[in-house]
Each structure stands twice: as structure tokens, then as C-alpha cells.
Amino acid sequence: MNVLSFSTIAENIKNEISKKCGLNLSQTRILLYFDQNDNTALKMGDLADNLKISLSTLSRQLQQKKTVSFITVKRSERDSSKTVLLNETGLQKVVQLRRELKEIEESLLQGLSKQEIASFNHTVNELVQKSEK
């Protein structure tokens, strides 16, 4: 197996998302995180932990002009914490992103049987779990 193939596939997916949705990788991760978690508001520290990035990196990412248009940041009245969630623009962008990701996935898996796709998904999930340890 050529491990560098993963990088090639990831780069192609990233480029397609950029071309079709106008999103960079950090914006994609943020949108997908909130989509997968029912757009539940989170403190910035918790969001950074869940995305496995530093708070300063998250703060920089959230300050990007396009990212600002997708989120609502609320300052706590009790302490200095801030909570983040997607606004209506962000929720609409997630719908577009999911649609484009489905097309990308179909294109990548074109020509494979349902059984081959299931086996591939299982193997990829196992690799992801091992890499997270």
C-alpha cells in the first residue's frame, strides 16, 4: 500500500471542496463538526478540544472573514468565555457542503459494488480509530 495515496486523495477532496463550496479545510471542519453535533453551542475551549486544535488556532480560524459569516459568537455574562454555533448562513452552507461531499464520495467510489464500498468504509474507519490512539 502506498501511504502517500491518502495524501493525494485528501488533497483532491480539499481542492474540490474549495472549488465547489469556496471553503478551506478549517472552515469545512468547523461546519461539519456543528452539523454532526446538531449545531449545539459550545464554549470555544471545548470546541478547540473537540477539533483537536489549540484555542489560539481556533480563535484565528474563527476570525477569518468567511468563517465569521457562518458563526455566531456569544460572550458569557458570567466569565470571559465565549460560545460558538452556526448562524443561518452557516447552516445553509452546511447543506451545500453535504451535497458536494456526497458527489465527491460518489465520484471516488464509482465502479465499486455495495459490498466493496462497505468493506472500504469499514477498513477506513478502523484506520481512523487506530490513528486517534
26-77 pLDDT per residue, tens: 999 999 999 999 999 999 999 999 999 999 999 999 999 999 999 999 998 8
Phi, psi of 118 (to 5 degrees): -60, -45
What's the whole-number mean pLDDT along residues 117-122?
A: 92
Contact (CB, 8 A) for 64 and 27: yes
What architecture (CATH level 2) is domain 4-131?
Orthogonal Bundle (1.10)
Domain segments of the chain as ranges: 4-131
SS3 string, 1-55, reads CCCHHHHHHHHHHHHHHHHHHCCCHHHHHHHHHHHHCCCCCEEHHHHHHHHCCCH
Q: How many helices (H) and strands (E) would you count in the chain?
A: 7, 3
Task: Give the pLDDT of residue 80.
Answer: 83
For the entire predicted model, the pTM comes to 0.86
Phi, psi of 20 (to 5 degrees): -85, -30
